[in-house]
Structures are given as structure tokens and as C-alpha cells.
Chain A
Amino acid sequence: MATQKADAVIVGVGAAGGILAAELCKSGMKVIGLERGPRLATADFTPHDELRYFQRQDLRPSPKRQPITWRPNSSTPSIPLPILNYGNQAGGGTVHYGALSWRFHEDDFRVRSRSIERYGASAIPLDSSLIDWPLSYADLEPFYDRAEYELGVSGKAGNLQGNKVDGGNIFEAPRRREYPLPALTPDQSGVLFEAGASKLGYHPFSSPRAILSRPYHDRPGCSYCGFCQSFGCHIGAKSSILVTKLPEADATGNFKLLTSVMCYRVNSGNSGRVTGVAYYGPDGSDNTIEADLVILAPFIYDNTRLLLLSKTQKFPNGLANSSGHLGKHVMAHITPRVFAAFDDRCINIYMGPSAQKHSLDDFNADNFDHSGKGFIRGAQISVAAADLEGGPIGTAMAMAPPPGIRRWGAAYRDFLAKYFTRYASIVAQTENLPYADQTIDLDPRVRDQWGLPAPRVTYDWRRPNEMARAQFLLAKLEEIGHAMGSQHVWRAPLGNGMPGAHHEGGTRMGKDPKDSVVNRYGQTWDIPNLFVVGSSTHPTMSGFNPTLTIQALAYMSADAIVNRYKKKPGPLA
């Protein structure tokens, strides 16, 4: 058993933890980062292998060794989720993600107030636990800007200081300046989506991505090979934490990264403060780190699990859980989608960055009038490969054949042979509302490879507000598919209630310590030297991918820690 000391310990060095590590180290703090997987390098990502990385999920946690279990409601037995869409190595999910980098809208930070102002309180489902964020878009804008410029994001502004700009997302919140890099070049699917959506009067644009369209900060521009989602970038053009913030942290000499270690408890005494963490080493050894500051930044499941496992006499329901809100208000995106097939041309959708390629924002957030529609909030709509990855295995897994063709047999073979190169998937990513009974707790039956109880999510998105939204969007997606010139448009099945991508919540932030776990800086209301940073703190999820917001919040937390907390440790808000 080894004991080490540090000014700060960061559990999970991914989208949020990597930024905090670099920023705290640069301020002179000695930081130890704990990472349960390895630290890989760009050279590890050659060659691209769809079976290994997409199908067998090699850059993601193993559903067998590190299970997350799921049940739709508390009276159904849990089963392990078959696909875990987050990271399992230094850099976290930014290593394998599709690198979509959105700023949330202004109204994404005040969904409750905005909905009541426009539609009345009765528009909010009675069982939704919707609250506003404890900060505004304007508070976060400087940190969005910093994240885009320090990490390297490609895109086209649609709203420069309040002036709408053609070619960008005209629904975006005002930004102080252009993106650091021009938008990525659209492929054939983007060209058709652009033309079709424009014909319908919508406002399409090349999706902003943390993928370099040109060389930047000594890294090369994208080669459009198409291996983004599920894969590490073989040239380092994806602005993952591995190639951006970890080298910065290393350069300070103040950073120590421990890999293949599993944090299993946050230690605390009777002083009302935490004293560090306990973790298992790669050899199974039991070790301790003593630190003045503990920052939890793993994926959402381990935040709730760690706090539940770290309960004390003072906090019998989980550390920092005097509110009783730990593990609640879990959200996930689901993705209604249609497939559009073309007889007159190849699309070759396996080319170019593979996740949401070209987008429109006309039906996201509160960008359209929801009156009489039976639901609030919307979805980001884009064109993409079948499972945000364009290889043939992903296509055979995710591309439902059109009605009348089974998923096997001669007709299926002929369908794949003809349309693998001739299809696009049009997908909506929905802003599902928070509900208090969508929860994470400890599974009483299933344990992981370290013998820890598996996190268990209780979740079913199929609620009236969400079902009405999905049906509305499917009709829009079909309309876009036809406008793109497709001869065959059909719907994919909607699924069985299982959470989709981007799980968020569990340690939400708020204005009031009674209905939230942390403040806007991720500092727990109960314990000032314990922080939680990441999408587990999001009170609502927006229709956008969360990573850039996670990163902007991490910059904001780092700024508050370095410039205020260090001088006067104590509550920041």
C-alpha cells in the first residue's frame, strides 16, 4: 500500500479532467491524475480496424469487465448495456468521439424559465424535474471561446456579436469572434443535405467539429479518411485531450498521471472536508493519495458511484448528498433517424469525418414555435453515416433495411451491395427532459472487475413529451430525405427505451443547494474541497453533443480554482 501527496487529485483525465490538470499545473499546483485505462499515442491509432475499434469497442469500457446495467423501471430486472459510448483511457471520450463541438443556445441554460414564458407552466410535463442552469450563456462565452481556440475547432460563425452570418448556424448564440479554423469540407452527403434543406427554407451548415481543417498548433489538417467516431485519429488532426491538454500538463513538470488504476473511494474525515482518494493499482494493490483538493471528472456513472461508495456517518446516503439529489435527473440523447437511398448517384458516406456531418438547427431548442405540438424542446438534425461511422460492419449493424426486406438473405445482400455506397442517414438528436425517477444507483447483483457494484441506470425515454417530439422529428427527417433527391426514404425503428448517447446528470448543478449537488463551478454544496466536473453536472442536456460545454465548464472551474479558491479555500458561490 502506497501513499502519495498532491495539491490536487483528479479522477478521470478526459474532456474535463485533462483541462483541469493542465490549468492547475500551470498555476504551480502539483496534480496527480488517475486514469483507469492506458495512455495511448497517435502512433497507436494506425491502422484503422473497424472490427477492433467500432465493433469490439476497444477504446471504450468493456461491457463485460466494466458493466453499466440498465432497466426501464424499478420493477424490471437490470441487464448490462451492450454498448458503452464513453472513454476508457487518458483523454477519455475525446479520443474516440466524433468531435462535434457545439456551444449551447442562450435558452439551453434557462429551459424552465423560457418554456414558462412562452408556453405557460402547463407545457412542462408534471413529472419533469426541469430547472434552469445556475449560469447564463454570457457567463460561459469567454470559456467557450478559449476552448475553441486552445483545442482547435473548425466551423463557420452564424452569429458574430449579434450579427447573423450566412453559411453558419444562424440560431447559434452570439460569439465574440470567428472559429479559429474554417469549416470542414462537405462530402457528397453534405452537399445534398445543404441543397435539400435550403430548398425547404431551413438553414444548413457544416457542423462545428474539433477536427482541424488546416494545420494548427503543430498538428496537421484532417485527411478525410472517415475514421473518427469510435477511432483514434491516426494523424492527430482530431483535437483530443491526448494531443492538446496532456502535453501542456506534462510540460509544467507538476503533473503525474497514474494509468490502469481504479479509484474506488473519496476519503473524508470528520472535519467536513475530503482528504484524498483510495485506488486500486494495476497489480490490485490498495493505495491512497492525500490531497487538499479532490476533483471527480470520470464519465457520469463513476461520479455517482464514487459518491455513493464514499458514504460516511455524516453523509449516510452518499458523500455530498445532503440534498438527496445524487444519482437523479439522468438524461440521454436518443436519435430518431431515417435512411435515404439514391439510385442516381453514389454518396460514399464512409468518406470524411464520420459523425454528424452537415446540420440544421431550425428544430432544436426553442428555435421554433412548439404551440399545440404536445412537447417542448427539440433536436439537432444532421446527415451522417448509419452509426456515425461509415464502415460496412457499422452499416450492417445500424442500417435497418427498408420495409419488406429482412436483415438477412439474398434480398438483404443485394440491398447492401447496391446501397452501401448510395445512402445517407438523417438523424435527429433530441433534448430529452430530466425526470427525477431517471436515476443511477448501485446494482445489488452485478459487480465489475474490481468487485465494485456496477452502476445501474433506471431510464426509459418513452414519455409523452419525448414520444411526441420523436414523431414530429421523424416527419421532418423524411421531408429532408425527399428534398435531398432520394428515391427511397424509410424510418429506422425507435428502440426499446434504452438510453442512447451522451448520458448526463446524476450530480446536477443548480442555484439552490436543496435541489442540486454542485454549484456552477462543480463545487459540491456540502464539501468545499470536493468538485465534480463533467456532463453529470448538466441540469438539462440540449440537443447538442455535450463535449464543448463540458470543456468550457472545466475552463471556468479551473479559472475559479486558480484565481479565487487557491487564495481563499471555501465556497465559491
Chain B
Amino acid sequence: MNAHDESRRKFLVNAAVSAGAVAGAGLVPEALAQKEVHREPRDAESAGALHEGGERRGAFFNAQDAETVAALTERIMPGAPGKPGASDAGVLNYIDLALAGAYADLQNFYRRGLASLDAYCHKAHGAAFVRLDPAKQDEVLIALDEGKATEFAWPTAQEFFNTVRVHTMEGMFADPLYGGNKNFAGWRLVGFPGAQAVFTPDDLKSTQAFAREPMVGLQSEAKMPARRS
């Protein structure tokens, strides 16, 4: 782990502690970033994976819903060796923080959507979503995507699926500041170098992947000196 990663992890701990504020304001919380955090390394390591192991430390989801969302988003963006997916990127953590803040108006949307999902899974496959094997889970996703899943009223199956898909992509690709895209997993997956301040004429002409480090995230910006005099 390099120094950059270390500072990012410290920041994530802080972000997780102040989850609602960070996700809700969407601002670069400079004061927060500059505040020293003293925590056990073990806690820091687990900061980007709040729900792993069924821990109930979420900002919004209860343990059962967290498990369902983790499984659902992992089918939307599945991980494989060398190809980080939703759980590698911390998508669940992103959505959990967002629902406690910026997307608080969607809390009931998720509650009802998740209840409808399990009602449908019980009816069609005899078990809750998380108890189905991945192939069966994909069948459920197809039914959601195509609007064929029953047991949904509001949100409709498609509305629910489309929203979870959008939030999965946000959790994969938004800046790690927001709780997902852990270790820039999403950006590394697709080859996006983050918000670079400059591309040179040679960069513009290049037919190769852009590889110049560092990848730039908001948490490093947040540690810059105050910009305004």
C-alpha cells in the first residue's frame, strides 16, 4: 500500500463515520479530510467494506436488505479474477451512504422494491433472492429488466431494476469519496485515469491506453491547501 492509498483509506474511514454528511452535501469536505483520525488498522482495512461478513454497520440498509443489494448489484456487475465487480468496488457501501444522504427520498423506493423482489423470487423460484444460485439470479434479473417479474406495483420491476443499475454504475465509477469505486477498482476496470488536469498533444494523438500515474481522486484534492484567499 503506498502513501496515497493510505491517505485515501484514512479518508474513507472518516467518510464512513460521517456518512450522511458526505453523501448528502456532495462537497469536498476539507475540514473533515484534514482532521487526524486514529483508529486501529483493522478498522481502516474494513472501512470500504462495511457490510462484509454481515456486519450491521450500514447507514441505511438493515442486514437482510444489505445482503440482497450486495447480491443483486454483484449480478449487475459481476466480479471475476482481474475484473473487479460490484462487491470488489464497494457498490453496496456507495448505495447505502447515498440512501442515507443525497438519495434519502428513495428510501421507500428501495424498501418496497426489495420486498417486491423477494416476493417475486419466492413465488417464481421458492426462495429469497440471496438463496438462489447465480444462474437463477440472472433469470430474475432478466425478468426485472424486461418488466416480466410479478409482485411489483410501485416501483415497477423495470423502474426498480433501472434505478439499481444506475446506482450500481455510480458505485462502480463515482469518485471513491462517495464510498464505492474502492481502490479505483471501477476506473482501473475500464481504463479511466480519473480527473486529469491536463492532456498533452501527444496524449490526444496516442492510440495506446493512457497509463501515466497518479490516478487522481477527490480525496487528494481535498488535502490541497485552501484555494481561496
Residues of A near any B CB (own CB < 8 A):
43, 46-52, 55-56, 58, 64, 185-188, 191, 223-227, 234, 345-348, 350-352, 391-393, 395-397, 406-410, 412-414, 416-417, 420-421
A49 contacts across to B, CB distance below 8 A: 26, 175, 177, 195, 218
Q: Is the CB of B204 within 8 A of A46?
A: no
B173 x A392 contact (CB < 8 A):
yes
In the complex formed, the residue of A with least CB distance to B229 is A43
* 27 A-B residue pairs with CB within 8 Å: A47-B28, A49-B26, A49-B195, A55-B170, A56-B102, A64-B105, A186-B204, A188-B206, A346-B191, A347-B207, A350-B192, A351-B210, A352-B199, A391-B192, A392-B186, A392-B187, A392-B190, A393-B169, A395-B190, A396-B169, A396-B172, A407-B165, A413-B189, A414-B83, A416-B189, A417-B191, A421-B192
Is there contact, CB below 8 Å, between A410 and B199? Answer: no
Tell me the chain B residues, 166-206 only, with Cβ under 8 Å from chain A. 166, 168-170, 172-175, 177-178, 186-187, 189-192, 195-201, 203-206
On whether the beta carbons of B189 and A417 are closer than 8 Å, the reply is yes
Q: CB within 8 A of B204: which of A55, A185, A234, A414?
A: A185
- Within the complex, the shortest CB–CB distance from B80 to chain A, in Å, comes to 7
Say yes or no for B138: interface residue by CB 8 A criterion.
yes
A115: shortest Cβ distance to chain B, in Å? 40
Closest approach, in angstroms, between the C-beta of B31 and any C-beta of chain A?
16
Given A51-B170, A58-B26, A346-B207, 6 more A-B residue pairs with CB atoms under 8 Å apart are A55-B174, A224-B199, A224-B204, A351-B203, A396-B169, A410-B80
**Known contacts being A58-B26, A346-B207, is A43 close to B175, with CB within 8 Å?**
no
B77 at the interface (CB under 8 A from A): yes
User: Which residue of the partner chain B has the closest CB to A350?
Assistant: B192
Contact A43 B190 (CB under 8 A): no
**3 shortest interchain CB distances as A-B pairs:** A420-B190, A51-B174, A345-B207
Q: Are A408 and B105 in contact, CB atoms less than 8 angstroms apart?
A: no
Residues on the A chain within 8 Å of B210, using CB: 346, 348, 351, 421
Given A224-B204, A225-B195, A417-B83, is A50 in contact with B209 using a C-beta cutoff of 8 Å? no
Q: Are B174 and A43 closer than 8 Å at their CB atoms?
A: no
In the complex with contacts A56-B26, A191-B205, A392-B173, A48-B75 CB distance below 8 A: no
- Within the complex, the shortest CB–CB distance from A424 to chain B, in Å, comes to 13
* Bound-state Cα–Cα, A223 to B198, Å: 5
Of listed B78, B177, B189, B207, residue having the most chain A CB within 10 A: B207
| B206:A346 contact, CB within 8 angstroms | yes
CB-nearest residue of chain A to B98:
A51
Q: How far is the CB of B77 from chain A (nearest CB, A)?
A: 6
B76 sits at the interface (CB 8 A): yes
Q: How many A-B residue pairs have CB under 8 A?
A: 137
Number of B residues, CB within 8 Å of A: 52
B141 CB-CB contact with A under 8 Å: yes
B76 cross-chain contacts in A, Cβ below 8 A: 408-409
B207 touches A409 (CB 8 A): no
Q: Which residues of A contact B67 (CB under 8 A)?
A: none
Nearest chain B CB to A236 CB, angstrom units: 13
Complex Cα distance, B75 from A75, in Å, reads 39
Please give me the residue from chain A that is nearest to B165 by CB atom. A408
Q: Please determine whether B165 and A409 come into contact, CB atoms closer than 8 angstroms.
A: no
Q: Which of A348, A407, A413 contacts B78 (CB 8 A)?
A: A413
C-alpha spacing A406/B197, complex, angstroms: 34
How far does the Cβ of A449 sit from chain B's closest Cβ, in whole Å?
Answer: 14
Q: A49-B175, A406-B145, A407-B165 are in contact. Are A416 and B190 (CB under 8 A)?
A: yes
For residue B142, which residue of chain A has the nearest CB? Answer: A406
- The docked-state distance in angstroms from the alpha carbon of A188 to that of B218 is 27
Is B227 part of the contact surface with A, judged by Cβ < 8 Å? yes
**Residue B2 interfacial (CB < 8 Å):** no
Chain B residues within CB distance 8 Å of chain A: 26, 28, 75-78, 80, 83, 85, 102, 105, 138, 141-142, 145, 165-166, 168-170, 172-175, 177-178, 186-187, 189-192, 195-201, 203-210, 216, 218, 221, 227-228
Taking a contact as CB atoms under 8 Å apart, the answer to whether A351 and B78 are in contact is: no
- Taken together as a complex, chains A and B put the C-alpha atoms of A245 and B200 apart, in Å, by 30
Q: Which A residues touch B189, using CB under 8 A?
A: 413, 416-417
Assess the A392–B26 pair: CB atoms within 8 A.
no
Complex CA gap A416/B228 in Å reads: 39
Query: In the complex, what residues of B have CB within 8 A of residue A406's CB?
Result: 142, 145
- Which listed residue (B85, B169, B199) contacts A351, Cβ 8 A? B199
Question: How far, in whole Å, are A509 and B159 apart by their CA atoms in the complex?
Answer: 41
B228 to chain A, nearest CB (A): 6
Q: Given A188-B204, A413-B189, A420-B191, do A225 and B175 touch, yes or no (CB 8 Å)?
A: no
CB closest chain-A residue, reference B189: A417
In the complex, A397 Cα to B198 Cα: how many Å? 25
A420 B78 Cβ-Cβ under 8 A: no
Q: Across the interface, do B175 and A51 meet the contact criterion of CB distance under 8 Å? A: yes
- CA–CA, A24 to B188, complex, Å? 52
Given A397-B166, A408-B141: A421 and B174 interface contact (C-beta under 8 Å): no
The winner among B28, B198, B204, B209 for most chain A CB atoms within 10 A is: B204
Q: How far is the CA of A240 from the CA of B201 in the complex (A)?
A: 24
Q: Which residues on B sit within 8 Å (CB–CB) of A227? A: 195
Give CA–CA (A412, B75) in the complex, Å. Answer: 11
- In contact, A348 and B206 (Cβ under 8 angstroms): yes
Q: Is the CB of A408 within 8 A of B197?
A: no
Known pairs A391-B192, A396-B169; A50 contacts B221 (CB<8 A): no
Q: Report the Cα distance A408→B77, complex, angstroms.
A: 6
What's the least CB distance linking B187 to chain A, in Å? 7
Q: Is the CB of A409 within 8 A of B78?
A: yes
Q: In the bound complex, what is the Cα–Cα distance between A498 and B202 (angstroms)?
A: 40
Distance between A310 CB and nearest chain B CB, rounded to angstroms = 32
Q: When A188-B204, A345-B207, A421-B191 are in contact, do A50 and B174 touch as well, CB less than 8 Å?
A: yes
Q: What's the Cα separation between A563 and B216 when bound, in Å? A: 52
Within the complex, the shortest CB–CB distance from B171 to chain A, in Å, comes to: 10
* Complex alpha-carbon distance, A350 and B191, angstroms: 10
Task: Determine which of A47, A345, A408, A416 lies in contact with B218 in the assembled complex, contact meaning CB atoms within 8 Å.
Answer: A47
Per the bound structure, the CA–CA distance linking A393 and B221 in Å amounts to: 20
Instruction: Please name all residues of chain B whose beta carbon is closer than 8 Å to the beta carbon of A50 when the two chains form the complex.
Output: 173-175, 195
Within the complex, the shortest CB–CB distance from A172 to chain B, in Å, comes to 25
Q: Please tell me if the beta carbons of A393 and B227 are within 8 angstroms of each other in the complex.
A: no
Given the contacts A224-B199, A346-B206, A408 and B145 also touching, CB distance less than 8 Å: yes
Shortest CB–CB separation between residue A399 and chain B, in angstroms? 11
Query: Across the interface, do A188 and B207 meet the contact criterion of CB distance under 8 Å?
Result: yes
Let me know if B198 and A188 touch, CB within 8 A.
no
Write the nearest CB–CB distance from A23 to chain B, whole angstroms.
Answer: 30
Q: Chain B residues near A224 (CB, 8 Å)?
A: 198-200, 203-204
Smallest distance from the beta carbon of B179 to chain A beta carbons, Å?
11
Asked whether, in the complex, the Cβ of A421 is within 8 Å of the Cβ of B203, the reply is no
Which residues of chain B come closer than 8 Å to A223, judged between CB atoms?
A: 197-199
CA distance A417 to B205 in the complex (A): 21
Residues in B with CB closer than 8 Å to A346 are 191, 206-210
B201–A185 touching, CB < 8 Å: yes
Known: A396-B173, A408-B165, A409-B76. A52 touches B190 (CB 8 A): no
- Contacts of A47 on B, CB cut-off 8 Å? 28, 195, 216, 218, 221
Query: Are A391 and B173 within 8 A (Cβ)?
Result: yes
A390 to B166, CA, bound (A): 17
